[in-house]
Homo-oligomer: A and B are copies of this chain.
Amino acid sequence: MSAYDARMSDPNPYRVENCSIERTLAVLGEKWTWLVLREAFNGVRRFADIQAGTRAPRQVLSARLARLVDEGLLRKVPYREPGRRQRDEYRLTQKGLDLYPIMVSLMHWGDRYMADPAGPPVVLTHRDCGSPIDVHLRCDDAHEVPSPREVTPRLGPGARLAGQSAREVSASVRPGAPA
Contact = CB atoms under 8 A, between A and B. Distances in A.
What is the interface of chain A mostly: helix, strand, loop, or mixed?
mixed
* Tally of this chain's copies: 2
B138 A136 contact: yes
B44 A21 contact: no
A59 B137 CA distance: 35
A151 to B, nearest CB: 5
Nearest to A98: B109
A105 B107 contact: no
Interface centre among A95, A129, A139 (most CB of B within 10 A): A139
Contacts of A123: 153-156, 178
Contacts of A28: 106
A87 interface: no
Interface string A74-104: 0000000000000000000001011111111
25 contacts: A10-B52, A16-B121, A18-B121, A20-B109, A20-B114, A24-B106, A24-B114, A29-B34, A41-B148, A42-B153, A97-B148, A101-B105, A116-B160, A117-B158, A119-B173, A124-B151, A124-B154, A125-B139, A131-B139, A132-B178, A133-B139, A133-B140, A133-B145, A135-B135, A135-B136
